[in-house]
Chain A
Amino acid sequence: AQRVTQPEKLLSVFKGAPVELKCNYSYSGSPELFWYVQYSRQRLQLLLRHISRESIKGFTADLNKGETSFHLKKPFAQEEDSAMYYCALSAGGTSYGKLTFGQGTILTVHP
């Protein structure tokens, strides 16, 4: 069975400070990892996909298979980054679309 753990339910930082949202996973195969974000009164949307290795809105995430982690990082947080962030895992292949989500982390960026 697969599992995604986000140890921090709440995370508060000040504007301009670095931020790291932690995500650890458990899966015996080769997973695909994602970060989803939900801004206030908006629907859930994809932020990052590990395969893409891209930076979106200044956020990056590196898959560390040794530590089974996929932490989300941003060097300088902005107030508009305040949102709920979910780490999610897919087994890939025919399991595309079937996501296992972590508990989510509420990020608050203070001015």
Chain B
Amino acid sequence: SAVISQKPSRDICQRGTSLTIQCQVDSQVTMMFWYRQQPGQSLTLIATANQGSEATYESGFVIDKFPISRPNLTFSTLTVSNMSPEDSSIYLCSVYSGQGYYEQYFGPGTRLTVT
């Protein structure tokens, strides 16, 4: 199994500012992902955080808005840039263990409110 922690757990930010969310895993994992859950909506994949290369973004998400770092196999950051109220969401980090039996784990989430 993998235990994931995220910082901060929640934040209230002003429009136009940026917030960096950290994701720490207690074991080395190959694949890390960032998801977003907007109010009343389902989870949507933002990007795959690749170690040693640029993140791979899903349709509708761009690097300038959501820059991602993955400096090693246990850590990643997601930055939400130039925030607007529409960015108010829960942001979740997820890892896939890839160790034979499929197991995907999710972090506790970061609740972001943009005013």
Q: Digit string of B4-34 for contact with A (CB within 8 Å is 1, else 0)?
A: 0000000000000000000000000001010
B42 located at the interface, meaning its Cβ lies under 8 Å from any Cβ of chain A in the complex = yes
What would 14 A/B residue contacts be, using CB atoms closer than 8 Å? A43-B109, A44-B43, A45-B105, A46-B103, A46-B104, A96-B31, A96-B102, A97-B48, A97-B96, A98-B58, A100-B45, A103-B41, A103-B42, A104-B42
State whether A44 touches B92 (Cβ < 8 A): yes
What is the size, in residues, of chain A's interface with B at 8 Å between Cβ atoms? 17
CA distance A86 to B42 in the complex (A): 8
Write out the residue numbers on chain A whose beta carbons fall within 8 Å of the beta carbon of B105.
45
Write out the residue numbers on chain A whose beta carbons fall within 8 Å of the beta carbon of B41.
103
B67 located at the interface, meaning its Cβ lies under 8 Å from any Cβ of chain A in the complex = no
State whether A101 touches B96 (Cβ < 8 A): no
What is the size, in residues, of chain B's interface with A at 8 Å between Cβ atoms? 22
- Identify the 7 closest CB pairs spanning chains A and B, nearest first: A97-B96, A44-B106, A101-B43, A101-B42, A97-B31, A103-B42, A43-B108
Chain B residue at smallest Cβ distance from A45: B106
A31 located at the interface, meaning its Cβ lies under 8 Å from any Cβ of chain B in the complex = no
Write out the residue numbers on chain A whose beta carbons fall within 8 Å of the beta carbon of B103.
46
Q: How far, in Å, is B37 (CB) from chain A's closest CB?
A: 9
